[in-house]
Amino acid sequence: MKSIWQAGLVTPVLLLAAATISRAQSTTQACTNATLAGPYGYSLTGNLIESQSLAPYADVGSWNADGKGNLSGTGAESFAGTIEQGTSLTGTYNINTDCTGSASITYGNGIGAFHFNLTVLNNGQEIRIIQNDSGSIISGSARQQPTGCILESLNGAYAYTFSGSFIDTGGNIDPYVDSGQITFNGTGGFSLNGQISEVGTQSSVSTSGNYATHSNCTGTATYTDPNLGPLNMIFALTNGGQIRFIDVDSALIFSGTASALGDVAPSGTMAHLASGAGWLTTFTLTNTGTSEANIQLNFFDDNGDCQ
């Protein structure tokens, strides 16, 4: 009997499946434009050269690939502390059979077209990105997004890292890193506990905030940083229990990611399992986290029909 198992994680915990055949089937195939299809949450960080100096840059949003070489979406950008939100994105992409490719994306706020080299991973689940325009030192990644998000789509504990810089009262660009744990309650609130390194000075943060999600699996979050004051974030949820953030406050240029604690890949396959004629396959599902989680096992017969 053929089988496919899928894990739908309601909360970020680790699920381990032990069976006669325990390793998910891994396949490699040639890529085409159709390999990229649907929404992708993306994040880009780095620097642009302006007037012979480096200007820090961050960009987070959502691309939608139509599988035919066309991209559309929206993003938020921080360029040396100047913020653009709700920027429309349109462009094209081309994926080679070896899963490398290129993309050209035009930003609707007037900054023009950016050009990128792409590497597609895991049959289109993830994209590695580097900008190839002269004067840019920017890279990032994108990952497929779920659809139909609701407030409860964010629930549980995540490990986060925000990094970048801020512009102080003297006009200096100062480095900033914040890393720790953020816990969402599924109803619009969260707590955040972490360690801050601001221009090399260490401090801790323990605070709470509020968040909202949209049906396209983007959202907003607000909280107060003890050093920088009130912060406003835009984020994109992606598959695999990840979140991509960007701060949209003037004079702040930082972004980051959060990963569900103990998260594992959301799906996998087994070619066959043994059942009958004296053979029996046993699945043992172990939740090593502290919160409830859901997992779904689907079984298919030799004709491909779900049993």
| 3-state SS string for 132-198 | CCCCEEEEEEEEECCCCCCHHHCEEEEEEEEEEEEECCCCCEEEEEEEEEEEEECCCEEEEEEEEEE
Question: What tokens were used for 103?
Answer: 């993309």
**151-260 matches 33-144 in CATH topology:** no
- Alpha carbons 94 and 33: distance in angstroms, whole number: 6
Partners of 181 in beta bridges: 159, 193
pLDDT for 98: 96
The residue with tokens 């974030």 is: 233
Among candidate residues 113, 110, 88, the one with its CA nearest the CA of residue 102: 113
pLDDT for 202: 93
Among candidate residues 224, 255, 254, 229, the one with its CA nearest the CA of residue 169: 229
Architecture per CATH, domain 33-144, reads as Beta Barrel (2.40)
* Under-50 pLDDT residues of the chain: 1-27, 263-266
Compute, in degrees rounded to 10, the torsion defined by CA atoms 244, 249, 251, 253. Answer: 0
**pTM of full prediction above 0.85:** no
Contact present, 238 and 141 (Cβ < 8 Å): no
Q: Which fold has domain 151-260?
A: Porin (2.40.160)
Q: Is 249 in a helix, a strand, or coil?
A: coil
Give phi and psi for 7, each to the nearest 5.
-110, 115
pLDDT for 290: 53
Question: Residue ranges per domain, the chain?
Answer: 2-24+265-300, 33-144, 151-260
The model's pLDDT over 187-220, given as tens digits with 9 standing for 90+, comes to 999 999 999 999 989 999 999 999 999 999 999 9
* CB environment 68-100: b (16+ within 10 A), e (fewer): ebebebbbbbbbbbebbeebebebebebeeebe
∠ CA 75-137-251 to the nearest 5 degrees? 55
Question: What tokens were used for 143?
Answer: 């990952």
- Alpha carbons 43 and 248: distance in angstroms, whole number: 14
